[in-house]
A and B are shown apart, each in its own frame.
Chain A
Amino acid sequence: MKREIYAYRCRKCGHLHYPYRMVCAKCGENEHNEFDPEPLPTTGTLVTFTELYALPGDFEVPTLGLGIVELENGIRITGQLQIDEPAGGMKVIGEVEVVRSEEYEKYYGMIFREA
C-alpha cells in the first residue's frame, strides 16, 4: 500500500490543517474529530531550506537536508530534502519514506527531490 500523509479538513468551515489539530484553527466551532482526512499532494515549491551539520545522535549520515515546501494545495510541510543544490522557488516532488529509525521503531515522512 502506498503510504500517504494526511491533512485534516474541518467539517464546519472547510479549513485544511497540517498537522492535525483537535479544534479548527479558523472557525474554532467544531467538536473533537469533526475533520475529514485527505492525502497531501506530493508536488510543490521549496520555500526555504538548510543543510544541517549538527545532527541528532540517531542519524547516521554526515549532513541532512531539511526544508519547508509549499504544496500545490497551499499547505506547507516540513520535510527532508535529497537535492544537491536546493534553491528557493525550486519545484520539488515528495515521497513518503522512512525518515528516522530508532531501535524498535521506524518513522515515515516526506522526502523531497527536485521535480
Chain B
Amino acid sequence: MRDVYAIGIGITSFTRLEFPLSEIAAYPVMMALKDAGIRKVDHLYVANMGSGRVNHQTGLASAVVDTLSLTPAGAEVIENGPASGGSAVKQGFLAVASGMHDVVAVTGAERMREVNNLEVTEFVATLTHPLAEYIYGVTLPSLAGMFTRAYMDKYGVTSRHLAMVAVKNQNNALLNEFAHIQQAITVEGILDSPEALTNNPYVADPLRFFDCCPVSDGGASVILATREVAEKTGRPLVRLAGIGQATDTHCVHERDEPTDLLAVRRAAAQSFKMAGVSPSDVGVAELHDAFTILEIVESEEVGFFKKGEGHLALERGETQIGGKIPINPSGGLKGRGHPVGATGVAQVYEIVHQLRGEAGKRQVADPRIGFTCNFGGFGNNVVCLTFAREN
C-alpha cells in the first residue's frame, strides 16, 4: 500500500444553512482544494445519510461533482449512518493507497434542518432495528438514555459528570468560529439553578437537553493524496496512518455487557495497530459525543483511560485543551454540531488543523498523533482514524 496524506481541508459553518445540500457538500471541497493549492481531483466521495429522505435528492455525488466542475472525475455517495464521514475517508484512503487514484476529495454534508425536529428524530430512528426496536418508539436518544442509566449504576457516573462534558465542549466551541453552539454554560446553571428543569429538560431520562448534540446543517472536506503530491504543497505533512472499523449487534439489547461499546474498542485497537502507535501517544482526539455519556465511554474504550474511569479523568481536567489528552477541542458534536454525514469528516478537519498547528485559540500544544472516533447507529458501526504529523 502507498502512504496517504491529508493535504487540504475545508469546512462550512455548522448551523442552519439556507443553501441546497449539493452546495453545502461542494463549498468545503472548494476550500480544501484551495488549501491544498490544487484544482483537480481524480475522484470524489460524498458522505451523506439523508439526502433521499430529508432533502428529496438522490444521486448527490453526481450533483456535487458537476457543480464543482470536476467532471469527468468519478463520484459516489457513501452512506454508513452517522459514521458515513469516517467511512468515506476510509474509501478515499483505499483509493489512493491502492494506486488507483493519486488525489481524491472526500466531503461530508447534511442538511437536516430543512425539516422539523420531530422528522429529524424519526429519520435518525430508522437506524434502529425495524422489528425489535423501532416499532416501540425507540430513538437514538432513548438508546443513549438506557445506556447512560446502566453506566451510572455500574460505574458511578453522575449527571454532574455528563454536565461537565457539555460545559467543556460548549466552551471549546466558543473558540471555533464554525461551531453551531455559541453559548457559555455552567454546571450550576444547567443542573442546580431553579430554572434547570426548564432550560435543561429531560429528553430521555437520565439524559437532558444539554446532554444531546444539536441538529445541524453543515459540510466538511479533506483532500487525500500520495506523498509525492503532498510534498508539493509545502504544507506540514499529515499522514492518515491507521484505520479501524468494527461492527456490533444491530439490537443494543443483544450485547453481552450492556455497558460495553465493543465496536469502539475493536475499531480503535485496529487503527492504533495499523499506525504502529498506542493510545498514550495520542496528543489530540475528536470523539463522537452525540450524547455526553459517549465521550466518557469512548475515552475508555479507545484506551485513553481504564474502563469505568473516564469520568474521573474528566474531573481531573485531563480532557480539556491543555490537559493530558485534549478531547474535542473543536467543541465535538455537542458544540460544533452534528450534521450526520459531515461529522466524521469534520473530525478529520479538526485533527489535521491541530496537527498542522493552525488551530489558533483552541490549539493543543504540539500534538504529533491525532485520533478520531466516528460512531454509527448506537455503536453498531464505528470507524476510527489515526493521523501522524511527519515533519
* B203 adjacent to chain A (CB < 8 Å): yes
Q: A66-B138, A100-B137 are in contact. Are A56 and B118 (CB under 8 A)?
A: yes
Query: Are B131 and A19 interface neighbours, CB within 8 A?
Result: yes
* A39 adjacent to chain B (CB < 8 Å): no
- Which of A19, A50, A51, A54 is close to B129, meaning CB atoms less than 8 Å apart? A19
Interface size bracket, A side: 20 to 34
Query: Are B204 and A78 interface neighbours, CB within 8 A?
Result: no
Report A77-115 residues with CB < 8 Å from chain B CB.
Answer: 77-80, 88, 99-100, 107, 109
- Which of B131, B133, B149 is close to A49, meaning CB atoms less than 8 Å apart? B149
Q: A48-B146, A50-B204, A100-B136 are in contact. Are A78 and B153 (CB under 8 A)?
A: no
Query: Are A54 and B141 interface neighbours, CB within 8 A?
Result: yes
Binary interface encoding of chain B residues 353-380 relative to chain A, with 1 for a CB under 8 A from any of its CBs, else 0: 0000000000000000000000000000
Query: Are B202 and A48 interface neighbours, CB within 8 A?
Result: no
Q: A53-B201, A78-B253 are in contact. Are A47 and B150 (CB under 8 A)?
A: yes
CB closest chain-A residue, reference B205 = A51
Q: A77-B253, A78-B132, A78-B253 are in contact. Are A51 and B202 (CB under 8 A)?
A: yes
A67 to B129, CA, bound (A): 15
Query: Are A48 and B122 interface neighbours, CB within 8 A?
Result: no
* A23 adjacent to chain B (CB < 8 Å): no
* B387 adjacent to chain A (CB < 8 Å): no
Query: Are A78 and B150 interface neighbours, CB within 8 A?
Result: no
- Which of B117, B133, B202, B207 is close to A78, meaning CB atoms less than 8 Å apart? B133
How many whole Å from B140's CB to the nearest CB in chain A?
Answer: 10
A51 to B135, CA, bound (A): 16
Q: Which label, helix, strand, loop or mixed, suits the secondary structure of the A interface?
A: strand
Query: Are B204 and A52 interface neighbours, CB within 8 A?
Result: yes
The residues of A that contact B119 with a CB separation of less than 8 Å are 57
A53 to B129, CA, bound (A): 20
Query: Are B132 and A49 interface neighbours, CB within 8 A?
Result: no
Residue of A48, A56, A80 with most chain B CB atoms under a 10 A cut-off: A48
How many whole Å from B161's CB to the nearest CB in chain A?
Answer: 18
Query: Are A56 and B137 interface neighbours, CB within 8 A?
Result: yes
The residues of A that contact B122 with a CB separation of less than 8 Å are 56-57
The residues of A that contact B201 with a CB separation of less than 8 Å are 53
The residues of A that contact B150 with a CB separation of less than 8 Å are 47-48, 88
Query: Are B137 and A55 interface neighbours, CB within 8 A?
Result: yes
* A24 adjacent to chain B (CB < 8 Å): no
Query: Are B135 and A76 interface neighbours, CB within 8 A?
Result: no
A68 to B153, CA, bound (A): 15
Q: A53-B204, A56-B125 are in contact. Are A48 and B133 (CB under 8 A)?
A: no
A/B interface sample: 23 pairs, CB < 8 A? A20-B131, A50-B146, A51-B145, A51-B205, A52-B137, A52-B142, A52-B145, A52-B205, A53-B202, A53-B204, A57-B118, A66-B145, A66-B146, A67-B146, A68-B146, A68-B252, A68-B258, A78-B253, A80-B136, A88-B150, A88-B153, A109-B135, A109-B136
Which of A's residues lie within 8 Å of B, judged by CB? 18-20, 47-57, 59, 64, 66-68, 76-80, 88, 99-100, 107, 109
